[in-house]
Amino acid sequence: MNRKHLVFIVNPKSGVEREKAIQRAIDNRLDSDIYSYEIQHTEYAKHGTELARNAAANNAFAVVAVGGDGSVNDIVSGLLGTETSLAIIPKGSGNGMARAMQIPLNEEQAIDVINKGNTIKMDIGYANDRPFISNAGVAFDALISRKFAKSTRRGFAMYSWLVTKHMWTYNEWDWDITIDGKHMKEKAFIVCVANGTQFGYNFQIAPDANWTDGLFDLIIINKFPKILSAAIVVRAMTGTLTSSPYVKHYRGKEIVISHPELKLMQTDGDAHQCANKVHFKMVHSAQKVIVP
């Protein structure tokens, strides 16, 4: 019986102990009757995209992204347009994609998901031709993504500190927004185009988003009084953010967001330069993913 081949792609910067834990989990739990495997390592930025593309060209059944949302994005960028599936062993900071897909954060339990092999076809969004899986944004979240990337510390505490530090000095902008041809103006400090439900750390920016419905969920958040900060966070952590009077929720397949001073956007937590306008397009059922 021919076994299906898996390619695990690991960032060696994650540390020796973490890689040993991954190897132990593979040895202990991967079903060797179903799968053969190899482990490959990224050596530079976007190397994961190249490795994933090569794995697909060599007919790998699945590429296993061992890392966070940025690593997953890199690997999906190499798999799009192929028949090779994506699998995830979450080893990042926020792990928004894995949490939203209910993939366990424990290595061995994540491999159990791979053993079962349940696959869906997931939608993929594009922001000015950059693919994204979970979400993209052009306002406050883009700023925080850039600050977090430059920080030497990781984790929820650092992310929360950056949000708290910059939230009250970040001004709302008057945005031009077009959704499926319908134009509107919105004043907001967060403008998020979501395919998945959360940023990470279980902060559910778009609790009603669905990976497979062919639609973006556009979340617009207005500045709110400081006294309501805790209440907004509770709503986000409990999946009720869109019921806040400070939040607006729209859906659409194609979205254009612009502002004369727009220079920064984020896709899946990675910040990028842009110029005045971001064009978001949805591709339905674009990528096979192994999920629980």
> Encoding tokens for residue 141?
């979240």
> Encoding tokens for residue 166?
């910059």
Predicted confidence (pLDDT) per residue in 22-34, tens digit: 999 999 999 999 9
Q: Which of 154, 164, 123, 101 is nearest to 269 (CA)?
A: 154
Q: Which of 63, 74, 69, 67 is nearest to 38 (CA)?
A: 63
Question: Which structural domains are found in the chain, ordered by start?
Answer: 4-117 (3.40.50.10330), 130-284 (2.60.200.40)
Q: For 146-230, list the strands marked E by DSSP.
A: 173-179, 182-188, 190-194, 216-221
Q: Helix (H, G, I), strand (E, B), or coil: what is residue 46? A: coil
Which residues touch 13 (CB under 8 Å, ≥6 apart)?
none
Predicted confidence (pLDDT) per residue in 205-250, tens digit: 999 999 999 999 999 999 999 899 888 888 989 999 999 999 999 9
In the predicted structure, residue 38 carries a pLDDT above the cut 90: yes
pLDDT above 90 covers what percent of the chain?
76
Question: Residue 229: what are its φ and ψ, rounded to 5°?
Answer: -55, -50
- pLDDT for the residue numbered 158: 81
Q: Helix (H, G, I), strand (E, B), or coil: what is residue 189? A: coil
Predicted confidence (pLDDT) per residue in 143-152, tens digit: 888 877 777 7
Mean pLDDT taken over the chain: 93
- pLDDT for the residue numbered 220: 97
Question: Residue 195: what are its φ and ψ, rounded to 5°?
Answer: -105, -35
Predicted confidence (pLDDT) per residue in 167-216, tens digit: 788 889 999 999 999 999 999 999 999 999 998 888 899 999 999 999 99
- Report the pLDDT averaged over residues 8-17: 79
Does residue 151 or residue 273 have the better pLDDT? 273
* Rounded Cα gap, residues 109 and 29, in angstroms: 8
Q: 72 and 276 in contact (C-beta within 8 Å)? A: no
Task: Tell me the Ramachandran region of residue 48: left when phi exceeds 0, alpha when psi lies from -120 to 50, beta otherwise.
Answer: alpha
- pLDDT for the residue numbered 15: 63
CA dihedral sign, ordered 69, 70, 73, 78: negative
18-28 burial, b at 16+ Cβ within 10 Å, e below that, comes to bbebbeebbee
Question: Residue 88: what are its φ and ψ, rounded to 5°?
Answer: -130, 130
In the predicted structure, residue 3 carries a pLDDT above the cut 80: yes
User: Which helix H or strand E contains 63, and what residues bound it?
Assistant: strand 62-67
Predicted confidence (pLDDT) per residue in 86-126, tens digit: 999 999 878 989 999 999 999 999 999 999 999 999 999 99
